Amino acid sequence: MSKAKGMSLATLMLEQLGVARRIVENGHELVPTWRIETPEGTFLISTRFDTNKPEQRDGPLFMVTRFMAWKLATSFVLTTKTWLGAELIQASDEALFTIGISQHERLAVLQRMKRDGAVSFSQPMWLAAHHIDGCYLKMLPGKRAEATAEEAAALERVFGKNGELPAERLS
């Protein structure tokens, strides 16, 4: 099975959303995190970029896409914090956002955040597939996507233990 312990993509997404909630509740910064399922196992990669600033996300998105091609990813879950508009106007405009992509599924779930001293959250809301940015749909490798030996060595440096975007093996 390609997904951890046979869990559905939606279950993995809700699990990652729960982790994100705990991070925010504990007062820590939520870093966009990718849970990537591959034939080799599950990897977790944290990428520091502002999802609302395309100039900051392009580099990490490209690198994560190449990682997925290198490892022949079968699915991924991205969990991040987002704004519910062009800019943050009030605290109620913040939300946790989780995207799940596999060969057969495209899912998104949003959970609004409210900060009144303590942080509280709405119930998770499942969104229609059209709410998922098209760039994420193209990230999973196709049948012909492979990394060359030279690129694999470069990716090992980026995603290795001391790399810029270390990939933590979960399984």
Tally of domains in the chain: 1
In 63-153, the DSSP E strands lie at: 75-83, 94-102, 106-116, 118-121, 125-127
Q: Roughly what angle, to the nearest 10 degrees, separates helices 149-159 and 54-71?
A: 120
Alpha helix ranges (H) inside the chain: 9-25, 54-71, 134-137, 149-159
CA distance 20 to 14: 10
State residue 124's pLDDT score: 95
Digitized pLDDT (tens) for each residue of the chain, 171 residues in all: 445 556 899 999 999 999 999 999 998 989 999 999 999 999 999 997 665 666 666 788 889 999 999 999 999 999 998 877 655 555 557 899 999 999 899 999 999 998 877 889 999 999 998 888 888 888 998 766 677 889 889 999 999 999 989 999 997
What is the model's pTM? 0.86
State residue 144's pLDDT score: 63
State residue 19's pLDDT score: 96
**Domain enclosing residue 146, as ranges:** 4-169
